[in-house]
Structure 1
Amino acid sequence: MSAEKWDISNNRIVIVSEAGNTENTVYGNGEEVYYIGGNEIPRFPLLVVKNNERMVLKTPATKSAEAKYEFAKNSYNPNYNNSKSTKWSEWREQNVSRGVDTLDYLSGKRIHSRLIEAYKRSI
């Protein structure tokens, strides 16, 4: 089954909850319909519900509070600012006086011609 062959006029959606490579529960109309093996490929569209590997449980839900989650790694967090890994480069007119040989750049002779042509087509 591919997305191109999906009949979008059919509004019945089958849902499976991922449990790994063992049997996964398949739901239809809110009820368990059957199980599908982790290595089986269905011939119909289905929606897979699974855990997000980028998020981890920080605090479980209680009667008075919802569960709290956090990013498993800071690299997954779009709001995390790691100034140590960020390097900014800026061109200034006074750099010209330092001389071309002392600037941090890659000589055009060391760049493959296909990369140069691709860059020229992109601008």
Structure 2
Amino acid sequence: MSRFTIVTVLFVSLAVILAGQGAQAAVAKVQLTNPDHPGKCVLDSNTIMSPGEVGKQPNHPCASAECHAGGLVTIRTCAAVAPPKGCKQRDFVNTNRSFPECCERAYDCSKHI
């Protein structure tokens, strides 16, 4: 199993655990290093960050990744927010926005749920 797969599984597990904690976002700290890029955070083959850089988490529609010294990465997701009564939560409105602006969700309130 690749390091990225392991990190993804841990990250998703943390998100599921925190989902029941109200309107809190999931925050994970993971070590993402690669000997080919010393001192950098290597999120995937296309996302290599220097300490102090903040960007979007690859392979997630709306999450931030902040690189720290030694390849430590802080990943933050959107807060869990319940949809309005009688509505169903849909996709993110605009995943091209930066984090946390990309957290805005669409709702379907056309049917009685």
**Category of TM-score, reference length = shorter chain:** under 0.3
Of structures 1 and 2, the larger Rg is shown by: 1
Greater RCO (Cα-Cα under 8 Å, separation 6 or more):
2
TM-score (norm 2): 0.20
Greater share of strand: 2
